[in-house]
Amino acid sequence: MSRHSIGICSLAVSFPKLIRTNDYWYDKSRELAVQQKSKRVRLPRTSQPISNQDGLEIWSQEVAPYLNDPFRGNVERRVLSQDESSLTLEYQAAKEAIAAANLAAEEVELAIVTSLFSESIGFGNASLLARQLNLHCPAWNLETTCSSALVALQNARSLIATEEYRNVLVVVSHIGSGTVDDRDTLSWSMGDGAGAFVVSSLKPGQGVLGTKINSATATYGAYSHELVTDDRGVPRICTRTGDNASMLAETAVDFVRSCCEGAAKAAGISLSSIDFFAFNTPTAWYASVCSRALAIDPERTINLYLRYANIGPVFPLANLYHAARSGKLKENDLVLVYTNGAGATAGATVMRWGDVALGSIPAPPIDVTPEQEKIRLAGLNSHSNDKPHLTEIEHLSRENIFAVKPEKRRQILETFLLGWLTTNLQLPPNQLAPQQSFAFLLDSLAALTFRSRIETDLQVQVPMEKFFGDNTIAQLAEQILNQLELANLIASQTRNNTDSREEEREILTL
């Protein structure tokens, strides 16, 4: 990438006034909150080996502490009130970003806008926002899901580098609460917000140094979006978890590594020289997954999921804003921003942070404390005091199983499976039996983690459909045992054939 000193010169964020806590769902539907009777997501039915066992193991270890929490790490969300909209949030953030950059309206020469799940179906807010801001420049709608802000920055920088424009306004919003059904547990993770920044020339050496954008179409179908009508007959987009949700976990580590390493290479630096990392964090454990994947100190990043939940393309801006406001990110620091847009693009950008002017401070959280927002890597802190003692589910290997008599093998395997389920689902030991079916027992997140544990310990591939519906724990144990015995038989025959060939070579030699 050519060395133009172009980047973010001002940054502002805007959030709704209403903060919704978990009590909202307890009051609205206690049964849903307690029992998690959400729509089951049927993951792809495949018995093919997982391509990145290392990556899925990292993801599974970091998600494990949240399996005991019915809200999966969600604490607070900012959601629109009746007198707010995506446009009002965008306007507030954009107005503050322009003012912080000391620009007049006529000095903004281009506006790039992402209105993810705005009230207007079919068009984004670019033209409406430009008119409300009294801008007379071109205004474009750009969307690539959660990577929208990063891709907009790439476009703005390139256009300024070619001297097409001098000052470009980028605005992104995410109105997730309006697209989900309160009866669906996906609603627990959706928040609303907006962010804006101005891109222009900076001091020499500052600004964007390198970018890497990759396709993320492997995760297409992780979410489904349907056009529905509400009780008043008003059409809206309804978002649900899709059939391809498992790919979000299976590709997470690969995407963050390839994008971040590619951006660092384009910038001519190493990841170890980065001062601060800003990840978009669609789940409570995503910052931990990214930290583990890149082998970085969690102190070099930030996790605001507990106070904002999933705010999509706004997250990297919120992370940069709060990091700069708190002093974690300072002028001339090297910062890497990573985003993963489900079904669209994943990308990373390395910047040398400038003297970025900031907009007003958002309202603080109600209950979330700085201590709660500290990132703790579960995979490296497996002996946490908050974690139950796992005496009944210590690691089980093939060797452990074949070390006992054949008639005892199924029993030890069933004990292992029952132990994992009772511990991670926080169920009384006497509540589960081998004939228990998986119907209403596992959601897609728990099933994927359970499968990962089995495949890691026993080195055997299990199709996802075995963890759903009327399939029982006993049937799962039988399937696993049959596969293990077949693999053991094949290995034994291979050893016998090798020994025979060795004997023949010895005779010939003599």
Domain boundaries, the chain: 6-34+53-380, 391-509
CATH of 391-509, one of 1.10.490, 2.60.40, 3.40.50, 1.10.1200: 1.10.1200
Question: CA 388 → CA 5, 385, 424, 427, 430, distances in Å?
Answer: 52, 8, 9, 12, 17
**pTM of the predicted protein model:** 0.78
pLDDT mean over 477-496 = 79
What digits encode the pLDDT tens for the residues 21-50? 999 888 776 555 555 533 333 333 333 333
Q: To 5 degrees, how large is the angle CA 274–CA 143–CA 224?
A: 105
Computed from CA positions of residues 452, 455, 458, 463, in that sequence, does the dihedral angle turn out positive or negative?
Answer: positive
Tell me, what's the pLDDT at 499? 54
Cα angle 388, 392, 394 (rounded to 5 degrees) comes to 90
User: DSSP letter string over 133-161?
Assistant: TT--S-EEE--BTBTHHHHHHHHHHHHHH
- pLDDT tens string 389-426: 333 445 688 888 888 888 888 888 888 888 888 877 76
pLDDT in tens, 272-318: 999 999 999 999 999 999 999 999 999 999 999 999 999 999 999 99
For residue 8, the cross-strand partners are 199
* Percentage of the chain modeled with pLDDT above 90: 52
The DSSP bridge partners found for residue 198 are 10, 169
- Is residue 129 within 8 A of residue 159, CB to CB? The reply is no
pLDDT of residue 498: 57
What mean pLDDT is predicted for residues 316-323?
A: 97
| Residue bearing the bigger pLDDT, 317 or 72 | 317
Contact 7, 354 (CB under 8 A): yes
Q: Which of 252, 269, 272 is nearest to 338 (CA)?
A: 252
Most confident range, picked from 53-62, 167-176, 495-504: 167-176
Provide the pLDDT for residue 47: 35
Query: Quick one: average pLDDT of 116-130?
Result: 90
Q: How confident is the model at residue 502 (pLDDT cuts 50, 70, 90)?
A: low
Cα dist from 474 to 299, 469, 487, whole Å? 44, 14, 20
The model's confidence at residue 141, banded by pLDDT at 50, 70 and 90, is: very high
Domain 6-34+53-380 coded CATH 3.40.47.10? yes
* Two tokens, residue 320: 């940069």
- pLDDT at position 380: 57
Hunting for tokens 């446009």 — which residue is that?
87
* Predicted local confidence at residue 460, as pLDDT: 84
Q: Is 459 or 496 the better-scoring residue by pLDDT?
A: 459
Q: 500 vs 91, which has greater pLDDT?
A: 91
Q: What pLDDT score was predicted for residue 48?
A: 36
Residue 100 pLDDT class (50, 70, 90 cuts): very high
Q: Per DSSP, what are the bridge partners of residue 223?
A: 241
pLDDT of residue 39: 35
pLDDT value of residue 273: 96
pLDDT reported for residue 51: 41
Q: Tokens 């009327």 — which residue? A: 470
How far is it, in rounded angstroms, from Cα 354 to Cα 30?
48
DSSP-assigned letters across all residues of 202-230: -STT-EEEEEEEEE-GGGTTSEEEEEEE-
- Residues 372-393: pLDDT tens digits? 899 988 865 543 444 333 334 4
Distance of CA 185 to the CA centre of its chain: 16
**CA-based torsion, 342, 343, 344, 345: positive or negative:** positive
* Average pLDDT score, the chain: 85
pLDDT grade for 105, boundaries at 50, 70 and 90: very high
pLDDT tier for residue 501 given thresholds of 50, 70 and 90: low
pLDDT (average), residues 163-171: 97
Identify the residue with better confidence: 466 or 38: 466
Task: State how far the Cα of 238 lies from the Cα of 236, in Å rounded to an integer.
Answer: 6
Q: What gap in Å lies between CA 287 and CA 62, rounded to an integer?
A: 9
